[in-house]
Each structure stands twice: as C-alpha cells, then as structure tokens.
C-alpha cells in the first residue's frame, strides 16, 4: 500500500528513474512560488517570457502542437497578476487561448515548463507503479474521481490511463497528474495509519504533590515529588489487539491496546486496558484515548488505596514503512 518512486518509464519507453521525481518537485515549486506581472495587452510568448524571468526556469510554448489548434505565439491576451502562484498564472493564460474544447495545458516534462495541448502531451506522459496491495481497486477509483476526472481513457479521455496489476496501480499520466496522485495517496495514508505507537509514563505521586497539567514535559515526571515506575512503549496494528507484559520480580504490568479510526473520522481511538502491580500496589485502568492524525498527548490520574498514579500517554499514528520494490512495466 505504499508509493514506490524508484522506477519510471516515459511514454516512449525510455528508462528514467529520477526525472519524474525531479519534474514533480518542479510542479511543487510552481505551486508555491508567486509571480507579479502588470496587467496589459501582450502576446502569449511575451507573457511566458515574463513569467519565466521571475520563476528563473524556461517556460516555453510547444508551438508546433499549439499551431495545430490555431494558437500562435503572436496571439494576444489581456492579462496581469499580482502575487499569484506561477502555476495559477500560467493556467489563467491557458484559459484565454484557443477554443474551449481545445484549451492548451501547462505541463512539466524533462525539467522544462511547457504550454502544450492534449496531443502534445502524449509524448510527455510517464508510467509509474504504485504498490497498493488490497487497496488497489479503492485507490484506482479514488484517483480517477479526484485527479483530472475527464482525462482518463476509461472515462472517454485521452490524457491518462490506469490499471490494477498484481496488487499495484500502473498509471500512465502527465507529471501534474502524478503530482496530484502522490499528494492524494499521501493524504489517504495520513488518515489511514497502519498502526499506532503508544508511549506511556507511569509515575507515582509522593505525599503532598499535585498532578502536573497535560502540557507538562515528561521531565517533570522524573523529578521529585514524582517517581517514574514504568515507561513502556509499544506499537499496535490498527483494528487489532496487541499486548505487552513487563515483569520484574514482585512488580510488573500488562498493557493491552486496540486502535481504530474514530467513529467521526477525525482521528484515532485507542482502547486501553492496563493492569499493574508494584510491591503490593495494585491498579487497573480501562479507557479510550482519542488523538488527531498528527498524534497527541493525554495525562490522567489514577487514584489507588496506596496513592495517586499519573499516566502520561503519547499516541503517534504510524503510516510509514519501507516501500515494496518497484517492478518494470510489462
């Protein structure tokens, strides 16, 4: 279910293991960097030149492909922008060119930024393999619904194609489409972690002490009047129960975790059962922790007959794992 980026084929069948990654990086730069061009009447080529000067990377027209749909470098547009992203500015000028059915498109290929057409893009597509496992069909539907929905061959388009093969998605598309797919899968993985890491600090309050607040650093628990008894850490797979047992003579604990997505989809819920004994002190706690997808910290107290226990839980979703090796497109 992880993205493999090591292997790419361009539409001409030439091996290009790093170029697509570099081109996607350029797309991100186009999305982040801003440009300001005073509004006035100018040619398409002049506007591309002004944007190129501010972006510090050549931005050119695929004039042979554009001429085929009656768009010339000498065609004039009324346009200007202030503080717009480079990509937004270039997409805006594309919308002013040609007929609605044959609008040009802004693409990144081979380290160049190019205004081209659907026909011109055919030689600029790249094929990437996205290992997806059991999520392959769900990811395929998600991608086709959210990334250039009208461009897929299966939807009557001509800009991209995809198929499920041996638990992977094989996608042939433009650099911009691959950049969107990469972001979409990253967002999906962020909200669908594989597991949860839970770190627990169990401390005993000495006489006369007060519990620190939830924002207190862990170091506060290691100083008098708090005595740290245990600090276990474990990783539990989503929707599965995992347990850890720690025994040290007359002391020990059993911690069981069952993580799942929160019912409202806002984060992670972790069902916890803790049973602990320490030199005659016995305590047990059952609770459900809630944390956002970025993780969180919860501090609670557990009164016992022998004194007060402080429980400090750090919950961290785990989405990353080594990606399966990419395989050639057959």
281-289, Cβ contacts within 8 angstroms, sequence gap of 24 or more: 281/204, 281/306, 281/307, 283/309, 285/311, 289/313, 289/315
Q: How far apart are CA 42 and CA 77, in angstroms?
A: 6
Query: Sheet holding 105-109: strands in order across?
Result: 59-61, 112-116, 105-109
| Rounded-to-integer distance, Cα 54 and Cα 9, Å | 31
Please report, for the chain, the start and end positions of each structural domain, with discontinuous segments joined by +.
33-123, 195-318
Q: In terms of DSSP bridges, do strands 268-278 and 281-291 run parallel, antiparallel, or are they unpaired?
A: antiparallel
Backbone Cα Rg of the chain:
28
* 10-residue mean pLDDT series, the chain (330 residues): 38 55 95 94 95 92 95 93 94 90 91 94 93 92 95 92 94 96 92 90 68 48 67 91 86 90 89 83 85 89 76 86 38
- Please say whether the beta carbons of 160 and 172 come within 8 A: yes
Measured distance CA(302)–CA(287) in Å, rounded: 11
HEC readout, 60-87: EECHHHHHCCCCCCCCEEEEEEEEEEHH
Architecture of the CATH domain 33-123: 3-Layer(bab) Sandwich (3.55)
């Amino acid at each position: 279910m992880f993205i493999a980026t090591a292997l790419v084929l361009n539409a001409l069948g030439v091996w290009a293991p790093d170029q697509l990654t570099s081109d996607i990086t350029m797309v991100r730069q186009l999305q982040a960097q801003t440009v300001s061009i005073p509004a006035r009447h100018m040619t398409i080529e002049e506007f591309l030149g002004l944007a190129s000067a501010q972006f510090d990377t050549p931005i050119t027209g695929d004039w042979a492909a554009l001429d085929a749909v009656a768009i010339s470098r000498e065609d004039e547009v009324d346009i200007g922008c202030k503080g717009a992203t480079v990509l937004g500015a270039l997409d805006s000028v594309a919308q002013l060119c040609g007929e609605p059915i044959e609008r040009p498109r802004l693409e990144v290929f081979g380290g160049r930024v190019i205004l081209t057409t659907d026909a011109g893009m055919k030689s600029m597509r790249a094929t990437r393999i996205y290992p997806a496992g059991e999520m392959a069909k769900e990811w395929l539907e998600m991608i086709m619904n959210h990334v250039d929905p009208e461009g897929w061959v299966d939807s009557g388009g001509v800009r991209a194609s995809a198929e499920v093969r041996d638990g992977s998605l094989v996608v042939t598309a433009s650099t911009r489409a691959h950049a969107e797919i990469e972001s979409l899968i990253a967002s999906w993985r962020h909200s669908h972690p594989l597991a949860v890491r839970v770190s627990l600090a169990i401390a005993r309050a000495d006489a006369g002490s007060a519990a620190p607040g939830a924002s207190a650093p862990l170091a506060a628990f290691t100083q008098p009047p708090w005595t740290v008894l245990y600090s276990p850490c474990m990783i539990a797979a989503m929707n599965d129960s995992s347990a850890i047992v720690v025994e040290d003579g007359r002391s020990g604990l059993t911690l069981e975790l069952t993580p799942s997505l929160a019912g409202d989809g806002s984060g992670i819920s972790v069902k916890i059962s803790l049973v602990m004994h320490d030199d005659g002190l016995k305590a047990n706690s059952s609770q459900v922790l809630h944390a956002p997808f970025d993780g969180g910290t919860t501090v609670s107290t557990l009164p016992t007959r022998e004194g007060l226990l402080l429980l400090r839980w750090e919950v961290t979703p785990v989405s990353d794992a080594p990606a399966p090796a990419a395989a050639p497109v057959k």
